[in-house]
Structure 1
Amino acid sequence: MRMWLVFVLLLWRVDVDAAPTTLSPVEHPVEHAVEHFDHIITNGYPATLGQAPYIVGLLMRAGAAGSWCGGSIIHHNWVLTAAHCTDDMDSTTIFYGATRRTEALFSVNVSAEHIIQHPKWPQSIGNDIALIRTPHVGYWSLVNKVALPPLSERHNSYVDAMATTCGWGSTSDGSPLPEWLQCVDLRIISNQRCSRSYGRLPASVLCVDTPDGRSICDGDSGGPLVSHQQPPTLLGVTSFSDASSCSSVAPAGFTRVTAHLEWIKEVSGVAY
Structure 2
Amino acid sequence: MEFFVVFALLLASAYASPTIFQRELVVPVLDDNVEGRITNGLTAASGQFPYQVGLSLKVSSTSSAWCGGSLIGNKWVLTAAHCTDGISYVTVYLGATYRTSAEATYTVSSSDIIIHSGWNSNTLKNDISLIKIPSVSYTSRIQAVPLPAVASSYSTYAGDSAIASGWGRISDSATSVTNYLQYAIVQVITNAACAATYGTTYATSGNICIATTGGVSTCN
The verdict on a shared fold, with TM-score over 0.5 as the criterion, is yes
Deviations 1:105-125 (A, max 9, x none): 221011111111111111643
Conserved 8 A contact 1:115-1:130: yes
TM-aligned CA deviation for residue 99 of structure 1: 0.4
What is the match of residue 89 of structure 1?
A: 87
What is the match of residue 142 of structure 2?
A: 143
Conserved 8 A contact 1:54-1:145: yes
What is the match of residue 116 of structure 1?
A: 114
Unaligned runs of 5+ in 1: 1-5, 15-39, 218-245, 247-272
Listed as ranges, the matches of 1:44-123 within 5 Å are 44-64=41-61, 65-122=63-120
CA RMSD of aligned residues (A): 2.0
Distance 1:143 1:11 in 2: 20
TM-aligned CA deviation for residue 139 of structure 1: 0.5
TM-aligned CA deviation for residue 10 of structure 1: 5.0
What is the match of residue 262 of structure 1?
A: none
TM-aligned CA deviation for residue 204 of structure 1: 1.3
Q: Say if 2:203 is the partner of 1:184.
A: no
Give the residue type in structure 1 aligned to 2:127: D
Larger radius of gyration: 1
Higher helix share: 1
What is the match of residue 153 of structure 2?
A: 154
TM-aligned CA deviation for residue 13 of structure 1: 3.7
Q: Say if 2:212 is the partner of 1:193.
A: no
TM-aligned CA deviation for residue 41 of structure 1: 3.9
Distance 1:199 1:93 in 2: 37
TM-aligned CA deviation for residue 126 of structure 1: 4.3
Conserved 8 A contact 1:79-1:132: yes
What TM-score comes out, normalization by structure 1 length? 0.64
Deviations 1:235-263 (A, max 9, x none): xxxxxxxxxxx1xxxxxxxxxxxxxxxxx
Distance 2:159 2:127 in 1: 23
Give the residue type in structure 2 aligned to 1:198: Y
Give the residue type in structure 2 aligned to 1:12: D
Counterpart secondary structure, 1:193: helix
Highest RCO, 1 vs 2 (Cα 8 Å, sep ≥ 6): 2
Distance 2:92 2:66 in 1: 10
Unaligned runs of 5+ in 2: 1-10, 14-27
What is the match of residue 23 of structure 1?
A: none
Which consecutive segments of 4 or more residues in structure 1 shift more than 6 A?
A: none
Counterpart secondary structure, 2:86: coil
TM-aligned CA deviation for residue 179 of structure 1: 1.6
Give the residue type in structure 2 aligned to 1:151: V
